[in-house]
Amino acid sequence: MKTTIKSPKVIGIILTYKHASFLEDLYHSLPEGVFDSIIVSNDESGDNIGVIAEKLGIPYFSHPRLGYGGNIKYGLQKALEMGGEYMVEIHGDGQYGTLGIIPGIQKMKKGYDFILGSRFTDLNLPLKDKMPFLKYLANIGLSFLDRLILRLPLSEFHTGFRIYSRRLLTKADLKHTSNDHLFSFQIIALAAYHNLKVGEIPVRGDYAHEHSSISIRESVKYTFQTFDVLAQYLWTRLGFETKLFKRSKHSI
């Protein structure tokens, strides 16, 4: 009797917050034949994006305002409940495009637990794509420090393109992670702490069109928060348990 090997279920999570004007074009730009399901996880903003999602036939989940971290955790939980094995984070403003999705999934299928999209595999490309110079320098400097401490082979740690595995989400305890942008760094540190296989693929960012982004004030706050995460990581490696880095079988 022939055994059929079932392919891992891939779910795309479109994160939205005031992204009603972007959703239709973004949805039609997604590659065909990759996703088993695509859902919208909406950080409620009162822009009636649910009407557009319904017209497009996309399952739509909304919740009161939580912030980026709360929104992606909400979407990941829904994807897990739907049987997802690989969950692709798709920003509702389309800043990272869709070209990294297929190579990212292909790499996940080689045994990776977490894939990030890096804009810095070629140091010239971010500047060609009109990334602000201060952002460019800050990203290089922070990523150097992150790489040194977390010992992960990544050229960029502060990117919004991610593919999560079920193994990552069941291994790492996300209960004490942030609901704001800090979550994006905490999950990388947690992957490093649990010795999970983390890799990257090249992506490009679009800075020529309208996109949502955090303010300078929020960026400075985020930077200092990442230093705290690194300090907790080092402290835990010395044998002192912290709230964020706990070994647990419980997920989100």
Q: What is the pLDDT of residue 247?
A: 58
Q: Are 150 and 233 in contact (CB under 8 A)?
A: yes
The pTM of this model reads 0.92
Q: What is the pLDDT of residue 157?
A: 98
Residues whose CB falls within 8 Å of the CB of residue 34, separated by 6 or more in sequence, listed in order: 10, 12, 101, 102, 105
Tens-binned pLDDT, residue by residue, of the chain (252 aa): 444 455 899 999 999 999 999 999 999 999 999 999 999 999 988 898 999 999 999 999 999 999 999 999 999 999 999 999 999 999 999 889 899 999 999 999 999 999 999 999 999 999 999 999 999 999 999 999 999 999 999 999 999 999 999 999 999 999 999 999 999 999 999 999 999 999 999 999 888 765 566 677 888 999 999 999 999 999 999 998 898 997 544 455
Residues whose CB falls within 8 Å of the CB of residue 26, separated by 6 or more in sequence, listed in order: 14, 19, 90, 92, 93, 94
Q: What is the pLDDT of residue 213?
A: 64
Q: What is the pLDDT of residue 45?
A: 81
Residue 198 domain-assigned (yes or no): yes
Residue 202 domain-assigned (yes or no): yes
CATH number, domain containing residue 155: 3.90.550.10
User: In a 10 Å sphere around its CB, with 0-12 CB exposed, 13-18 middle and 19+ buried, how is residue 34 labelled?
Assistant: middle
Distance, in Å, from the CA atom of 173 to the CA atom of 73, rounded to the nearest integer, reads 12
Residue 242 domain-assigned (yes or no): no
If one counts the domains in the chain, the total is 1
Distance, in Å, from the CA atom of 181 to the CA atom of 187, rounded to the nearest integer, reads 11
Structural domain boundaries enclosing 180: 10-237
Does the CA dihedral 89-177-214-145 come out positive or negative?
A: negative
Residue 86 forms beta bridges with which residues?
Answer: 10, 165
Residue 252 domain-assigned (yes or no): no
Give the amino acid at 90. I
Residue 246 domain-assigned (yes or no): no
Residue 249 domain-assigned (yes or no): no
Residue 2 domain-assigned (yes or no): no
Residue 245 domain-assigned (yes or no): no
Q: What is the pLDDT of residue 76?
A: 98
Q: What is the pLDDT of residue 191?
A: 98
Tokens 């002192």 belong to residue:
240
* Consecutive H or E run containing 100: none
pLDDT (tens digit per residue) in 141-159: 999 999 999 999 999 999 9
Q: What is the pLDDT of residue 229?
A: 97
Please give the C-alpha separations between residue 50 and each of 36, 42, 162, in angstroms, as whole numbers: 21, 9, 24
